[in-house]
Amino acid sequence: MNCSSKATSLNDSASTRADYTATPDRRYYVVQGRLWRLSNPGLDEETHRRLVDQLMAAKREVRDGKDSIQRITARLKADRVKRALGERGDVWWTDGAPDYNRRLAVDTPYASWFTGDD
């Protein structure tokens, strides 16, 4: 993978990219060396904003749930919204590339970009 952009490195020897740095193809961002899928950039601004509002509301419901049933229900809402955003479930890109969501960047084709060896 040819990746030209560089990010600020961390002092942590386990990673060389700053947390929340997006991959050059904008499919993932990195947190503590792990890839997390970004939202579908094909969503229009209004839809994206509405879904993010719903996600934040669901996360507050998880936090504020009075019992396990309320928290589970809220987690299911959050999962549905994340799927609508494209952060979970089927990938939003169409080039046939596999999904590396939640994998360590060094164990993916993003390894050389992540370590700065590109």
What local confidence, expressed as pLDDT, does residue 18 receive? 75
Give the helix ranges, DSSP H, for the chain.
Answer: 45-64, 68-85, 111-115
What local confidence, expressed as pLDDT, does residue 117 receive? 81
Residue spans per domain, the chain: 1-38+93-109, 43-86
> Reading across the β-sheet that carries 28-31, which strands appear in turn?
21-22, 28-31, 34-37
Pairing verdict, β 28-31 and 34-37: antiparallel
Question: What amino acid occupies position 43?
Answer: L
What local confidence, expressed as pLDDT, does residue 13 receive? 39
Question: What amino acid occupies position 106?
Answer: V
Question: What amino acid occupies position 94?
Answer: T
What local confidence, expressed as pLDDT, does residue 16 receive? 59
Question: What amino acid occupies position 1?
Answer: M
What local confidence, expressed as pLDDT, does residue 61 receive? 98
Write out residues in the chain with pLDDT < 70, as ranges: 1-16, 118
